[in-house]
């Protein structure tokens, strides 16, 4: 199994420019998502869990009533890798996805749901 290479602080900073809301903290990339309550929190955790398991790359999650914190780093590399960045991008797309008005027949929820 090939181990991912740890990214430099400059590489991490450059890649985080495309991930608003994500930050480098204590050797990991971290993001909090606000939800409108416990059911939505659980749905978000399950969605993250599905993609993480399919990717065989597992974030640390801190879960509370209206918030999910995601923390990514690659243990075997001792820091943040391209794998962490790719999974962060997928989590971001999933958590904040909404039907596009005028481009989708899906109407979307009227609830607050998940927010940045």
Domain extents in the chain: 9-97+108-115
Mean pLDDT estimate for the chain: 92
Topology of the domain comprising 9-97+108-115 = Gyrase A; domain 2 (3.30.1360)
| pLDDT tens-place string over residues 20-55 | 999 999 999 999 999 999 999 999 999 999 999 999
| pLDDT tens-place string over residues 60-94 | 999 999 999 999 999 999 999 999 999 999 999 99
The three-state secondary structure class of 112 is coil
Predicted confidence at residue 97, as pLDDT, reads 87
pTM of the model: 0.89
Q: What's the pLDDT band for 3 if we cut at 50, 70, 90?
A: low
């Amino acid at each position: 199994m090939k181990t991912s290479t740890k990214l430099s602080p400059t590489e991490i900073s450059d890649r985080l420019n495309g991930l608003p809301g994500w930050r480098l903290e204590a050797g990991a990339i971290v993001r909090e998502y606000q939800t409108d309550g416990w059911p939505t929190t659980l749905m978000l955790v399950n969605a993250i869990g599905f993609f993480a398991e399919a990717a065989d790359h597992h974030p640390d999650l801190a879960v509370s009533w209206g918030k999910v914190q995601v923390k990514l780093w690659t243990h075997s590399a001792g820091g943040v890798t391209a794998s962490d960045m790719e999974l962060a991008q997928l989590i971001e797309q999933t958590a904040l996805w909404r039907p596009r008005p005028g481009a989708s027949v899906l109407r979307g929820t009227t609830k607050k749901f998940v927010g940045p």
